[in-house]
Amino acid sequence: MRILGIDPGLGTMGWGVIDTDGVKHRLIQYGAILTQPNQPLPQRLRSVFKGVTQLMETFQPEEVAFEELFFSKNITTGMAVSAARGVALVAVAEKTDNLFEYTPMQIKQAITGYGKADKHQIQMMVRLMLSMDETPRPDDAADALAVAITHAHSMRASQLFKIN
């Protein structure tokens, strides 16, 4: 199965594509969709939409997993990132109904076995799980790969995490 993992963001939206049989995972590609802060919001959102649409067409994932948003302080930033996530959801939904989401704690638990792991621990485990020579950069891409791996580990119970 091919899985696209997405770490939502407006300035940097991380993405990672893996193939998996549920136990073994193979890295296909990863990266980030970048938008410029000096551009108007509608142009940035259009860039996100086009970028995610291109990912769907290029990699043709069977399932797509998102990291659920969590904001504790800056509501203005939260609203912009939520808009970017919404645009990404629409781009994915144009191609498939197989959309899933996981909380940051669920991802940390699935990748490291510890729900409060730090970013460095996540990155090192992603690198090991995908037999990578280097830590994926930017951090958002490593997070997106962690989302994809989390979904791969949850395949048997994936309907619990489906976005409806």
pLDDT tens digit sequence for 50-94: 999 999 999 999 999 999 986 556 666 678 899 999 999 999 999
Strand positions, DSSP E, the chain:
2-7, 12-20, 25-34, 63-67, 99-102
- Domain extent listing, the chain: 2-161
pLDDT band for position 163 (cuts 50, 70, 90): confident
Model confidence pLDDT, tens digit, residues 30-49? 999 999 999 999 999 999 99
Q: Give yes or no: 140 in active site.
A: yes
C-alpha span between 8 and 14 (Å, rounded): 7
What is the SS3 assignment for 118?
A: coil
Tokens 């489906």 appear where? 162
For the question of residue 101 being annotated catalytic, the response is no
* 2-161 CATH choice from 3.30.420.10, 3.20.20.80, 3.40.50.1000, 3.30.70.360: 3.30.420.10
CA–CA distance, 95 with 88 (Å, rounded to integer): 12
Task: Please pick, among 63, 101, 140, 143, the residue that the annotation labels catalytic.
Answer: 140
* Preceding peptide of 37 cis, ω within 30°: no
- Choice among 19, 57, 63, 67 that is catalytic: 67
7 is catalytic: yes
